[in-house]
Amino acid sequence: MEIVAFGVQADERPFLERAFAGHHQIRGLDVFLNRDTAPIAHGYEIVSTHVDADLSADVLQTLAAGGTKMIAQRSTGFNNIDLEAAADLGMSVARVAAYSPYSVAEFAWALALAVDRRLIRAGHRTRNFDFRLDGLMGRDLHGRTAGVLGTGRIGEAFTRIAHGFGMNLLGWDIAENPRCVGLGMKYVAPERLFAEADLITLHLPLVPATRHFVDAAALAAMKDDAILINSSRGGLVDTAALVDTLKAGRLTGVGLDVYEEEAGLFSFDKSLDVIDDDTLARLMTFGNVLVTAHQAYFTEEAVGQIIEATVANVEDYLTGRTNENMLVTRGQLPAAAR
């Protein structure tokens, strides 16, 4: 069987081709799935998608009309997929429930250290042979407090690194992680975490209850010199409120690998375009803000695991099996995915 994969990154392509070799033919496309590109999938029973794909109801209808019966998304997140529409169309939908937590946790730390120690500004200066240290003073993180919102596999990995730095640990989640407690983490209400943490990192899923979890009130509660890191989902942060906070001269640094309006921007070359997103454009003007393009997961280990799981999802669909990655199984929507 030939499978079409949308949104295939150049570095991802060899992993995808090797993983499917001997199983199925794979047609890897660098274009992302949306209303305009959906007709390309005509005649393909199985379509693999990137997290930035548009899988709203009308796109799914176009796919279904062309014979697509299975969506194999190469990501953990699935907030871009209308699962109810997929179920109504009799489709199957799968994601990748888990992959290397270290990829995201380590990248979150890279963002934190980069903004704390002013590495981007320092790098720009030395490229211009400006070797002054003015404005580059950072802070020791040892002895300070890390606030971890979401202590699942990624949050736990971040916590282990914070423990290695000798930081005090505060956490919040709907359920405590005993391994984090064993490292000395104290679980507190979000309001206390926002008020007391010097470094705040987000590792929550994006669901209605967590949208704009970091809103104007949360930002107002933070220390003026706090560091905020988001390597999870852009919608967790109210970006307009964040811009207002930065305009007021608050927060030592912000590291964002995700942005709530990133669809259609991230993963594309927009260097020659006029950016009409005023919020993102304003965000980019702050010298203490580092924005990267949703690359935290992008390591050899994580990408390899994501693609191996995608192959397994395809095989399970074809043989009628189910697994933990299945969000919709031949039109049946499990309660956990609703």
Q: What share of the chain is helix, strand, coil (3-state, %, to 5)?
A: 35, 15, 45
- Catalytic residue (one of 12, 156, 260, 262): 262
Question: 300-319 and 101-116 are packed helices; what angle lies between their axes, rounded to 10 degrees?
Answer: 150
Distance CA 148, CA 87 (A): 35
User: Are 246 and 289 contacting, i.e. CB atoms less than 8 angstroms apart?
Assistant: yes
DSSP state of 252: S
CA triplet 312, 97, 12: central angle to 5 degrees? 65
- Hey, what are 180's tokens? 């984090």
User: Are 85 and 57 contacting, i.e. CB atoms less than 8 angstroms apart?
Assistant: yes
Distance CA 251, CA 224 (A): 5
Distance CA 154, CA 156 (A): 5
- Catalytic residue (one of 12, 144, 233, 260): 233
Shortest CA distance to 80 belongs to which of 240, 264, 257?
264
262 catalytically annotated: yes
233 catalytically annotated: yes
Distance CA 214, CA 248 (A): 17
- Hey, what are 218's tokens? 């949360």
**Any residues with CB less than 8 A from the CB of 254 and at least 6 apart, and which?**
115, 227, 228, 229, 242, 246, 286, 288, 289, 290
* Residues taking part in catalysis: 233, 262
